[in-house]
């Protein structure tokens, strides 16, 4: 195939031509003036762009707009495209396949499989390849492995792992990965026990305080195992939509290889491309400023600094708030908000559904929040002006469904 390279700032008319006839991108490639940084995806040795394209939000746009956005992403130097059969019952994969049939060699292609048994997983993998218009993907991921029961099914007799390994032997995937959301205990157990090429989970400056073990334990373990580390949810499922630059810079400054983001408008894509192309790591000073003064963290989200301790009643205050973070990401804070913001929080608070883990862990605490006498010693110690006594009441109610009230002194 003859490939013609066109410099965009000289031939702006070409972009309009691509919009009108998207398939022309199979014959003509745009050469953009600035391409984004690439990193090595762990032990795979593959070079991937720091910004990946996630396929979930392609469900919200037309085929034509999908083709335009994916081509723009690839032409900008991006090369990691990810989707999953669970996204719209295969609709996202079908849309990605519109571009893949013309540009398979231009990207590192990823899909996932949520089925836990061997037969069902094999069928799902083959259906995914058909929708994607290819005979192989570069990476196949066990999708959202959230429980030890699910992990046992995958690697047990006639589990999905058999279908994954067979797909790898047959050349249908080059690498195998695992993904999960929220509290990372299951992922830690998985990569300690089984062999993977890539790990995928959430990284953002909001949930780092709800699931601190992800950065403190999971990343170091993945690095020790030489896994490629793929991040997702830099914007906390849209909760951080007002903080695009802070969110991406924070996530990309972590020791990960790539951050996947979803796009459904050209404006959104261009904004994220600009951040990625001009990326500079966040400094310690900037990070501390973000943690201290970001309105989205405000005076409710516990930063897990432990400065509120010791409690005269022996309550492990940061741990109580940690379990609240597991429970609902500390999103229900008893603050009255307008309807759209309330609806967003209500939709996202149980997005990872770690409620049982949270309530079980809280039930094992020797001293719970209802032991608080309201002495008030903790409040002045908090550098983030959190009303700790009220937050303890709130957390206890969430984690037990039993109301508690202390006498203010």
Give me the pLDDT at residue 11, please.
33
pLDDT band, very low/low/confident/very high, at 36 (cuts 50, 70, 90) = confident
Is the domain of 11 the same as that of 142?
A: no
Is the domain of 165 the same as that of 106?
A: yes
Is the domain of 142 the same as that of 2?
A: no
What element of type H or E holds 47?
strand 47-49
- Res. 107: pLDDT tops 80: yes
Is the domain of 14 the same as that of 39?
A: no
Q: Scan for tokens 């013609």, then name that residue.
A: 4
- Res. 331: pLDDT tops 70: yes
How buried is residue 214: exposed, middle or buried, by Cβ count under 10 Å (0-12/13-18/19+)?
buried
CB-CB contact of 368 with 336 (8 Å):
no
Is the domain of 15 the same as that of 56?
A: no
Digit-coded pLDDT (tens) for 116-146: 999 999 999 999 999 999 999 999 999 999 9
Q: Is the peptide bond before 310 cis (omega within 30 degrees of 0)?
A: yes
What integer is the mean pLDDT of 40-65?
A: 97
Is the domain of 109 the same as that of 14?
A: no
Rounded Cα distance between 39 and 369, Å, is: 45
* Residue 274: partners with Cβ closer than 8 Å, 6 or more residues away: none
Residue 215 phi/psi, 5-degree rounding, is: -80, -35
Rounded Cα distance between 231 and 51, Å, is: 10
CA 338 to chain centre: 27
- Res. 31: pLDDT tops 70: no
Give me the pLDDT at residue 406, please.
53
Digit-coded pLDDT (tens) for 354-364: 999 999 999 99
pTM reported for the whole predicted model:
0.90
Please give the residue range of the domain that contains residue 59. Answer: 34-283
Structural domain count of the chain: 3
| Bridge pairing between strands 108-113 and 80-82 | parallel
Residue 260 within any structural domain of the chain: yes
């Amino acid at each position: 195939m003859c490939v013609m390279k066109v410099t965009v700032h000289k031939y702006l008319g070409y972009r309009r031509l691509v919009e009108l006839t998207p398939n022309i991108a199979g014959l003509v490639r745009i050469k953009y003036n600035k391409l984004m940084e690439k990193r090595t995806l762990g032990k795979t040795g593959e070079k991937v762009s720091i910004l990946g394209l996630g396929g979930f939000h392609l469900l919200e746009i037309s085929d034509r707009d999908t083709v335009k956005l994916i081509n723009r992403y690839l032409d900008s130097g991006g090369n990691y495209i990810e989707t999953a059969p669970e996204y719209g019952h295969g609709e996202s994969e079908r849309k990605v396949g519109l571009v893949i049939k013309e540009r398979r060699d231009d990207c590192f292609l990823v899909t996932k499989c949520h089925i836990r048994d061997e037969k069902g997983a094999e069928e799902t993998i083959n259906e995914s390849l058909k929708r994607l218009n290819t005979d192989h993907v570069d990476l196949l991921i066990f999708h959202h492995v959230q429980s030890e029961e699910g992990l046992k099914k995958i690697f047990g007799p006639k589990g999905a792992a058999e279908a994954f390994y067979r797909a790898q032997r047959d050349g249908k995937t080059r690498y195998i990965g695992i993904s999960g959301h929220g509290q990372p205990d299951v992922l830690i157990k998985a990569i300690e026990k089984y062999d993977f090429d890539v790990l995928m989970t959430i990284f953002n400056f909001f949930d780092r305080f709800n699931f601190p073990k992800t950065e403190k334990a999971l990343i170091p373990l993945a690095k020790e195992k030489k896994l490629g580390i793929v991040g997702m949810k830099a914007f906390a499922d849209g909760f951080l939509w007002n903080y695009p630059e802070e969110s991406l810079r924070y996530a990309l400054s972590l020791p990960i290889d790539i951050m996947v983001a979803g796009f459904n408008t050209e404006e959104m894509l261009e904004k994220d491309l600009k951040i990625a192309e001009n990326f500079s790591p966040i400094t310690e000073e900037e990070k501390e400023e973000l943690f201290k003064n970001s309105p989205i963290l405000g005076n409710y989200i516990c930063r897990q600094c432990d400065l509120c301790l010791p409690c005269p009643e022996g309550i492990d205050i940061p741990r109580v708030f940690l379990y609240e973070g597991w429970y609902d990401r500390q999103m229900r804070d008893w603050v009255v908000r307008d309807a759209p913001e309330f609806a967003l929080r209500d939709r996202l608070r149980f997005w990872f559904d770690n409620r049982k883990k949270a309530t079980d862990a809280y039930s094992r605490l020797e001293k719970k929040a209802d032991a608080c006498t309201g002495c008030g010693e903790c409040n002045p110690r908090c550098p983030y002006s959190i009303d700790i006594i009220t937050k303890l009441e709130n957390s206890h109610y969430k984690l037990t469904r039993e109301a508690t009230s202390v006498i203010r002194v």
